[in-house]
Amino acid sequence: MHWQSATSTLLQSVISGSRVGLVTDVDGTISPIVDHPDAAQVTPRSRALLADLQSHLALVAVISGRAAADVRERVGIPDLVYVGNHGLEWWAGGRIEIAPEAAAFRPALEAALDAVRAEQVPGMLVEDKGATISVHYRQTADPAAVHARLGPVFEDLAGQHGLKLFQGRMVFEIRPPVDVNKGSAFHHLVARHNLDAALYLGDDTTDVDALRMARHLRETGACYAVGLGVESANMPPAVRDNADLLASGVQDVESFLSWLLSACSASST
C-alpha cells in the first residue's frame, strides 16, 4: 500500500504517539543512487525537512551501511543521531563508538582485506570501514559477471577468516559474525529514546531487518512502529514483502517527509 493511502490509518496512529521517532536510511532513500558511492548526495529538500522535523519529533536518526562519520558529513545536520555500518558504529557525544563485539574482529578483517584486494578487478572499489569491508562493483564492466564470479570467492574468504559475507545492491560486505544489523539498531534506538511510536524508511536488503523489527515492535505492543519501503527499479522483493507501506522513490520520500512535518505541526498546535 502506498503511504498516501494510510495517512488517516497507520500513519495517523504513529503521529498520535507522545514520543515519535523517525529513523531513515540514506542511499536510495534520501539520496538518489549514483554510480560512484562517493558522489551520493542527500537531496536539499530532504535535508531541510529532516532539520525541521527535529524540533517536532523525539528522535530523528539516520542509519546507513556507510561509516558513521561519512553519514554525518553527507547529511550535514549537526545534532541528529547517526548510526553507521548497519549499527556497528554510533555517533554519540561528538565521537564515534564502535560496538565492542565488532572491535575484536579487526585483525581478522585486516587479513580479509588483503585477500579481497588480491581479487581486485577494474572499477571495483574496496572500502575499509573500520568494523567492516565494503566491495562496490557497480562501476565494473560487467557487474552481473563480477557478482556471479566473486560472490562464492568472497563467501569462502569471509568464512576462512571467521567473518560473514552480506550482499547489498552492487556491493559485497564482509562483516564480523555479530548479531548487529539495522533491525537491532532500530530496536536499540526505540528503547534508548523511549519511543512509543516510530517510522523506519529504507530501500535495500539490509533494511529488511529493520522493516521486520518495526512490524514486530508494533505487533507486540512495544512501540507503534511502521516501516516504509522505498521503491526503485531493482528493489529487492524482500523490501516490498516486509514493508508496511511503500514510497515510490527518493522524491516521494521528500513528499512523505513534507506530509509528516505538516501533520506533526498541525498536531502540536
Q: What are 6's three cell numbers?
A: 494510510
How far apart are CB 42 and Mg ion at their closest, in Å? 12
Residue 226: closest CA among 5, 6, 1, 10: 10
How far apart are CB 33 and Mg ion at their closest, in Å? 8
Look up 25 and say whether it is catalytic.
yes
How far apart are CB 230 and Mg ion at their closest, in Å? 8
Q: Which is nearer to Mg ion, 25 or 254 (CB)?
A: 25
Q: Which is nearer to Mg ion, 25 or 244 (CB)?
A: 25
Q: What angle do CA 135, 140, 146 make, to 5 degrees?
A: 70
CA distance 206 to 219: 21
Q: How far is CA 133 from CA 65, 110, 142, 202, 233, in A?
A: 10, 9, 21, 21, 26
Q: Among 25, 27, 203, 244, which one carries the catalytic annotation?
A: 25
Helix/strand/coil for 155:
helix
Which residues have CB under 8 Å from 17's CB, separation 6+? 195, 196, 197, 198, 224
Number of residues that bind Mg ion (CB under 5 A): 5
For position 244 contacting Mg ion by CB under 5 A, the verdict is no
Q: For Mg ion, which stretch binds (CB under 5 A), given 2-10, 26-34, 40-48, 244-252?
A: 26-34
Which of 22, 27, 195, 244 lies at the binding interface for Mg ion (CB under 5 A)? 27
How far apart are CB 27 and Mg ion at their closest, in Å? 4
For position 28 contacting Mg ion by CB under 5 A, the verdict is yes
Phi, psi of 227 (to 5 degrees): -105, 130
Pick out residues in 199-238 that bind Mg ion (CB under 5 A).
203-204
CA distance 179 to 229: 23
Residues that bind Mg ion (CB under 5 A): 25, 27-28, 203-204
Active site residues: 25
